[in-house]
Amino acid sequence: MATYLQCFWGLSLTLSLYFIQSTATPHVYIVYLGVSHIHDPTLTSKYHHQLLSNVFASEEDAKQSILYSYKHSFSGFSAKLNSTQATSLAKMEGVISVFRSKTLQLHTTRSWDFLGLTLDSKVTPWQLAFGDDIVVGVFDTGIWPESESFQEGPRMRPIPPNWKGECVKGERFDPAKDCNRKLIGARYYLKGFEYDYGPLSKSGNPEYRSPRDFLGHGTHTASTAVGSIVKNASFFGLGQGIARGGAPRARLAVYKICWGKKFVGKCSEADILAAFDDALHDGVHVISASFGESPPFRPFFESKAAIGSFHAMQLGITVVFSAGNNDNDEPDPSLVQNVQPWSISVAASSIDRMFPTQVLLDNTLSTMDLMGESFITTEVKGKLADSRIYFQDGICDRDYYNTTLNKSAAGKVVLCFSTIGSELSGEAVAAVKMANGLGLIFAAPMTMQIPYVEIIPTVLVNIEQGSKLKDYLAQSPRFPAVQIKPTKTIIGKTPAPTVATFSSRGPSSRTPDILKPDVSAPGVNILAAWPTDTSPTLSPSDKRSVKWNFQSGTSMSCPHVSGAVALIKSAHPNWSPSAIRSALMTTACTRDTTFDSILAGGSMKVSDPFDIGAGHIDPFKAMDPGLVYDMKTSDYILFLCNMGYTQENIEKIVLPSAGLETCCPKVHKTNTNINYPSITVSNLESTMTIKRTVRNVGQNRNAIYFANIVKPNGVEVVIWPRILFFSWFNEENSYYVTLKPRKKSQGRYDFGEIVWSDGFHHVRSPLVVLVNTTTVDYSDSITQASTI
């Protein structure tokens, strides 16, 4: 007999219609319901249980199935369901999306000086003047609370009274001892991870059932974003200097959502969404999230990053994501991650610091020396050997180790090439370690010269240098002696920034009319805090203990932008997330320290907006951008309409406000018309006109701005009006950009820019256009081919 469940706003569902019994294997699914219309968390959770009970035998079974009830900042839940139950829930009234929880990967001193935030006493240290009472939430692997980076700074005020977060007790984490006025929040989320991988096990996989960090990634990113000032930080003397985060006076809240599995960080979407729900309720102002999902992408509201960051944006919280790392370190296009237009996606680039390492050779007949890069802290002496002696075909890979010869590389520094076998030095390191080698010289193209902290001494050289070493070996009557000197730190002698080889590139594969990444920031060889109980390489055989460690990745560039956002938010508390992003984008630079164009790592070419977005961030200029491109709710509604969401869906997702129109426009408008700080047209077939609106936020309210245009090749660009007048009574102005193709082209992007200037501010917007005026009739080709 049918029974009826009364929902809190009148929703009634027939139990007999939806009750599902199935023996199919359950998985964790996320059920997203949009904005919470019940402003009581207890009642919201109860509604979730009742809704879920429609696909279970009883409400008690439903409660046993649920992992998290997302009840504070948006409505939804994660639960253990089979595919039939998930399909039934997706058809129910009020449900926006049901999707299976996936496991995501992490994207893994001097950098702030390089960005212009110096602590030089001759310059006002405005990095210390802002940031108080701004709370940055870091979603990562936890925190090492004993690090000096997370101790209270001098004269730090009490915890803000509106802070609702807490420090949760757990294994080796005591809130009374480990939290303070700096570290004001620490939570951990484990249910999704444990369902996917089983109970947290310490057997061969050390971890802490608490906010405490083992993998080190979270400690590193947190200290980069908001770490306190620490003098004489270094990695065994390398990179020595004053360590601090971008906003050293800001507060830190840690949300541990990633856990070690065979020493690799794994992040369950169910856990991530629970962290978003808590963080938005706790009162964070900025969220730093160094993880992502590779293409192909799911619909936006079947993604935890899009859901969490959308609701954060509506509450005025800026969410900063890493743009992603390419697994093969190749700069392939369209692999950029975290492409939703309501958050910031950050590429990675280098800073002006090098770690030269001298290599000396002697075969008794002649000597040779060359310079590579490394993090070697003590002198290495041994014999140089060719990889072919120990590995089949000279391929430095564990699968090619020639065990039948039973040859040990003890006392040998092995020469390997990225062009023979693995392109990455990490696999060669593991292979040489297996062969009991003393060290490794790894030859790779100069565009891939990024040293890492390794378990054995490893020096990177370019292919030319590697070829000379190989020739030297061939001419030597016996193994030549090799001496590797300790690495040195050199600052200001290399052009920087350069876009990192591994940094994921645009255009966005989901929304090509929205430029992603947005900006670039330091992400190569970043020195930051590290757990002292975790070795710098994570290898169990590495017995070193360090307080600071070098890491590279867009995981490292992301917290640089998060720290900058905290400073801007402190100086301009009323700015929206889109205004803050605009300030960072329109003031970003596209020139390196030699005033030449920034190069794109992985190639010898000049970078373009798909490599670095609007450019390399300049936090100092971003504090006073002159004009900002703000986005209104109507911009997001247009975007959602173009993504296929209905008015009914949009009303459930968007916070209600007086006079808000949630219907989609009758005349189609592309995403190019969204008031983004960049202009991207992915398919220019004929003349089109685009509107942009800017707001004057400069100190001079009576300002006049003039437009300057750099036209993309083959595109006529007309701006009207060419002059914008601002006053106390007119702080906003709109202008129109008309683009007209002037060439025959297909599948080729060209780049330009629009700069508005009042003589002091230079408000720059990238202009990215794909002219598509040449069509190919594939049907003729198919017909001809069929007749051959």
Amino acid identity, position 780: D
Q: Is-contact 214 531, C-beta < 8 A? A: yes
Structure tokens at 44: 């919201």
- CA distances from residue 712 to 613, 629, 708, 716, 756 in whole angstroms, order as listed: 16, 22, 13, 8, 17
Q: Is-contact 656 674, C-beta < 8 A? A: no
Structure tokens at 113: 């000086």
| SS3 state of residue 329 | coil
Say which of 48, 107, 217, 285 is annotated catalytic: 217
Say which of 65, 101, 111, 555 is annotated catalytic: 555
Q: Respond yes or no: is residue 39 known to be catalytic.
A: no
Q: In whole angstroms, what is the distance from residue 432 CA to residue 455 CA?
A: 10
Q: Is-contact 5 15, C-beta < 8 A? A: yes
- CA distances from residue 145 to 250, 539, 737 in whole angstroms, order as listed: 16, 22, 51
Q: In whole angstroms, what is the distance from residue 523 CA to residue 328 CA?
A: 17
Residues 6+ apart with CB under 8 A from 7: 13, 47, 50, 51
Q: Respond yes or no: is residue 303 known to be catalytic.
A: no
Q: For CA atoms 665, 670, 673, 677, give the dihedral sign.
A: positive
Say which of 113, 140, 196, 608 is annotated catalytic: 140
Q: Is-contact 505 612, C-beta < 8 A? A: no
Q: In whole angstroms, what is the distance from residue 421 CA to residue 664 CA?
A: 53
Q: Is-contact 389 401, C-beta < 8 A? A: no
The CA-CA-CA angle for residues 708, 347, 464, to 5°, reads: 105
Closest CA relative to residue 660, chosen from 639, 636, 642, 628 = 636
* 396-427 exposure pattern, b = at least 16 Cβ within 10 A, e = fewer: bbeebbeeeeebebeebbbbbbbebbbbbbeb
Q: Is-contact 480 472, C-beta < 8 A? A: yes
Q: In whole angstroms, what is the distance from residue 601 CA to residue 317 CA?
A: 32
Q: Distance between terminal CA atoms of the chain?
A: 67
Q: In whole angstroms, what is the distance from residue 637 CA to residue 643 CA?
A: 10
- CA distances from residue 388 to 11, 392, 395, 416, 425 in whole angstroms, order as listed: 71, 6, 7, 9, 17
Q: In whole angstroms, what is the distance from residue 480 CA to residue 743 CA?
A: 60
In 203-268 the beta strands, taken as DSSP E runs, fall at 230-235, 238-243, 251-256, 258-261, 264-268
Q: In whole angstroms, what is the distance from residue 568 CA to residue 578 CA?
A: 12
Q: In whole angstroms, what is the distance from residue 403 CA to residue 82 CA?
A: 47
Structure tokens at 611: 């490599």
Residues 6+ apart with CB under 8 A from 415: 384, 385, 386, 387, 441, 443, 466, 469, 470, 473
- CA 461 to chain CA centroid, nearest Å: 28
Q: In whole angstroms, what is the distance from residue 486 CA to residue 463 CA?
A: 22
User: Active-site residue numbers?
Assistant: 140, 217, 555
